[in-house]
Chain A
Amino acid sequence: MTLPAKPVQKPAKLALTVSDALGADAAATRIGEIQKRTLALSNFTYLCIRDDLRSPDSFADICGVAAVLWEGPLVIESDEPEAIAKGCLHLVGRKPLVHCREAHAEASAIAASLGCRVLSLPGDDGDAVDTGTQDLSEIPDAIHLLKGYDPSRPVTVHVPAGEYGVSTAAAAMMLGADLIIADDLDAASCALLDRIATYRTVRRWDP
């Protein structure tokens, strides 16, 4: 990276995820590992709770664990309205971001009614935009179009684990994404992305 002399005013923020498939005990261990891994990294402030089981009760349990163990902001990621509703009940006062991978009006409405900010898909009027999780080729277009028309609009990107997740996350940050959710990253990758987030230069292509 070509690092500027000082940190940018608005660095990107990053999150690692914990899956409800782990169960409560393993999720607590996982959250502890994430805390340890990101302790010195100023931009890894978020924790994302993933609904992989599609079981509202299991999801709510992990939300409860996260509410106790994680002091920073939270993202809950589910397309199930019932899971979102039950999860939010464990997060009263925390105002989590709700990340719906698929546009789901009912889920969005429930989350909004509970005071949460909803991250929705392009075309919706949510607070943020998910540009997709798998198809990297969508990232430049989606971010450029959204930021081009409204630079203040938050953009969230979810990337897979591993080294290609790192470069996807880096590309998204360089293009102006505001919140990056990564399934998992090792300590070195976290440190690298944290540095990119802190010093990134977002270059615009205005005609």
Chain B
Amino acid sequence: MSWQQQDEVWLGLGDYVAGGSCAPPFLKSEGALARRPIVMGSMDLSDGRDAYDSAMMWADAGADGMMIRVSSEEELPTVAMIAQVTGLPIALSGDPAVVSAMASAIEGTVMILMGADAEGHLSAGQNGRIAVFDGLDADAMHAFRLAGLKGDESCKRPILADLSMFPGEPMEEAMVGLEAMLCGADILVMNNPVAADMCRFQGEELAGL
């Protein structure tokens, strides 16, 4: 039996791609792509920190993008600024109405919308174009990706593993991220920059990049 190729999506300015796997993770002998998961850092615009500094911190740490938690449409200029300054893919999380409204006003970059929808962007969630799992639910991710590789059309979507609220130490978070990658996650949203850096490194090593 041959594995079925999974859906892939293009993010940001079109220079990042997620998904598209055609074999179990990192198994080159079975035809896996030389492609590592995208690693995003999490930000919360209401946590009191300077948004520009936080975004640049993630960019400097080597993150491929940011998941930004938003709470009000008044934060639109900040999100637009981050998208423009970093040029990196962005995922928006928060009240679906706020996320949708904000996404509709931002053009020129393809964003992931957690639990929401807007034209020109990618919805993520139960019925979205990207499947979202709690990063701790590795069994579910593995089952989903295995079903997709076997041809289940409903399970071919890229997997986003959300670790943005992970409470543990960076090394623990990195281990969870590693496990998610080995279970087929295509996008990791990390809480700690050190853990994100380790996952990015691991992804590159495992993918042979």
Contacts and interface: CB of A to CB of B under 8 A. Distances in A.
B201 interface: yes
A145 B32 CA distance: 14
Interface string B131-146: 0000011110010001
Interface residues of B, number: 34
B178 interface: yes
B142 A2 contact: no
A164 B201 contact: yes
Contacts of A163: 171, 198
Contacts of B105: none
A136 B205 contact: yes
Dominant secondary structure of chain B at its interface with chain A: helix
Contacts of B201: 164, 167
Nearest to A145: B29
Contacts, number: 78
Dominant secondary structure of chain A at its interface with chain B: helix
Contact of B25 (A140, A170, A189, A207): A140
Interface of A: 1-2, 136-137, 139-141, 144-145, 163-164, 166-168, 170-171, 174-175, 188-189, 192, 196, 201, 203, 205, 207
Given A1-B179, A2-B176, A144-B29, A203 B198 contact: no
A1 B136 CA distance: 7
B65 interface: no
A205 B178 contact: no
| Nearest 8 CB-CB pairings of A with B | A205-B24, A137-B208, A136-B205, A207-B1, A140-B26, A2-B138, A203-B142, A141-B29
